[in-house]
């Protein structure tokens, strides 16, 4: 669903400008490594301790393998906007599943990924290498209707966001609902919680968050038995 007028090849001058403005706020950059300059950009980013992710990519198995060898270590929105696995052309996803050092994002909204795929990802990678992500657009929590997102007209019907041609256009799910669906699909609750909190913090190298532990920042979300939010705690301050 990416708008073609915003797409361009890796540009080091542009990346320099972004780092000049944002500095160490940049934790992860997602690229398509098969584009001209893609591998060089991986080198550029890893030298700055940025996690390099791959997505919206048509990379072959061989191109993905090279990207992982050069330092890429994560897959954004695994299975979406990338080639399907074929037994003679396994592609990016197979290369990522095969590599123990590569972590994956899963959009668990009941639309983007079949429950069997989510269980397969969990079986292969485990909770320490899978991140729950909502990929939610501005319709999250607002409801059905028409929106402008990424330069496109997006219609949300029954909670599913699509372009006019039917292409999926992001999601509307919240993280607590994504956690509930993960459990409904067969993921143990303890693993789902780790995938929504501890694992993403560890992948990004963020310290003192993502766990309930002495000395850690008290940022917590309390859910009831229906997975509805009952309280939020930010830096130890309780919000009901």
Exposed e or buried b per residue across 136-162, where buried means at least 16 C-beta atoms within 10 angstroms of its C-beta: bbebbeeeeeebebeebebbbeebbbb
Is-catalytic flag, 135?
A: yes
Helix ranges (DSSP H) in 99-226: 115-125, 175-184, 189-196, 198-203
Residues in the chain: 240
**CA neighbor of 104 nearest in space, from 46, 64, 140:** 64
**CA neighbor of 177 nearest in space, from 108, 79, 233:** 108
State the CB neighbour count (10 A cutoff) for residue 60: 16
Tokens for 73? 């270590």
- The single residue of 16, 135, 146, 224 carrying the catalytic annotation is 135
**CA neighbor of 27 nearest in space, from 131, 117, 115:** 131
Cβ 58 vs Cβ 34: under 8 Å: yes
Measured CA to CA, the distance from residue 39 to residue 31 in angstroms comes to 10
Measured CA to CA, the distance from residue 161 to residue 146 in angstroms comes to 9
Tokens for 100? 């123990």
**What residues act catalytically?**
135
């Amino acid at each position: 669903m990416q708008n073609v007028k915003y797409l361009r090849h890796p540009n080091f001058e542009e990346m320099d400008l972004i780092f000049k403005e944002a500095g160490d706020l940049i934790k992860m950059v997602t690229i398509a490594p098969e584009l001209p300059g893609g591998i060089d950009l991986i080198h550029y980013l890893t030298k700055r301790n940025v996690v390099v992710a791959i997505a919206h990519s048509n990379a072959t198995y061989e191109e993905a393998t090279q990207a992982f060898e050069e330092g890429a270590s994560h897959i954004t929105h695994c299975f979406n906007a990338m080639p399907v696995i074929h037994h003679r052309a396994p592609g990016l996803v197979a290369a990522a599943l095969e590599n123990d050092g590569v972590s994956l994002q899963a959009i668990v909204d009941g639309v983007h990924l079949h429950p069997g795929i989510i269980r397969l990802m969990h079986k292969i990678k485990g909770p320490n290498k899978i991140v729950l992500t909502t990929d939610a657009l501005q319709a999250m929590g607002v409801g059905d209707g028409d929106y402008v997102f990424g330069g496109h007209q997006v219609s949300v019907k029954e909670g599913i966001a699509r372009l006019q041609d039917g292409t999926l256009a992001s999601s509307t799910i919240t993280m607590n609902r994504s956690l509930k669906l993960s459990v409904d699909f067969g993921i143990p609750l303890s693993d789902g919680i780790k995938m929504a909190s501890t694992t993403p913090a560890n992948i990004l190298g963020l310290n003192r968050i993502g766990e309930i532990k002495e000395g850690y920042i008290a940022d917590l979300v309390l859910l009831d038995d229906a997975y509805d939010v009952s309280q939020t705690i930010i830096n130890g301050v309780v919000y009901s």
